[in-house]
Amino acid sequence: MSIKFSQEQLNKVQEVIARYPEGKQKSALIPLLHMAQDTFGGWLDAPVMDYVAELLHILPIEVYEVATFYSMFNTKPVGKHLLEVCRTGPCMLNGSDEIIDYIKSKLGINEGETTPDGLFTLKPVECLGACGYAPMMQLGKNFREHLTKEKVDALISELTAKAGN
């Protein structure tokens, strides 16, 4: 896979950089890392980060420092679907521990692991701001809320079926 944004994406990059004052293009770093992660396989490999550094004319280490600070950036490969289940206080009160245990036994993986088929990664996370709709998980761009074992079953079959096609 060659590490290069499409022309359309490069236009978007310029548009994002233009949101910030001249010479402050480093401000576009987090938005660009989001774009890069979405484009280049769901995680940020060193060459990807170097590419972003090049686009913003900053040092690679500045990108590494930022990418490893924020929890949404994966610096290691993850499965196709990242199941990020919240386990902080309010979700715990509503049974998030049981949901995490259920996913573990259902997929046969531990926290932070990926299924052998590369489809699912389970990542318990801290508060995502959906405390009133607990237990919940983040899946891609969206939240799945009021989770039950049945909902987890349905979700996993749906995603597995999609991958089969």
104 binds other proteins (CB under 8 A): no
Sheet containing strand 81-86, edge to edge, reads 120-125, 81-86, 137-139, 142-144
112 binds other proteins (CB under 8 A): no
List 138's β-bridge partners, or say none.
Answer: 84, 143
Q: How far is the CB of 143 from other proteins (least distance, A)?
A: 8
Distance of CA 131 to the CA centre of its chain: 20
Site for other proteins in 35-54 (CB under 8 A): 46
Q: How far is the CB of 122 from other proteins (least distance, A)?
A: 16
Residues contacting residue 4 through CB under 8 Å, at least 6 positions apart: 51
12 binds other proteins (CB under 8 A): no
The kind and range of the H/E element at 36 are helix 29-39
Nearest to 42 by CA among 69, 76, 8, 16: 76
30 binds other proteins (CB under 8 A): yes
Interface with other proteins (CB under 8 A), residue from 14, 71, 148, 157: 71
- Binding-site ranges for other proteins (CB under 8 A): 19, 21, 24, 26-31, 33-34, 46, 56, 58-59, 61-62, 64-66, 68-73, 87-90, 92-94, 126-134, 138, 141-143
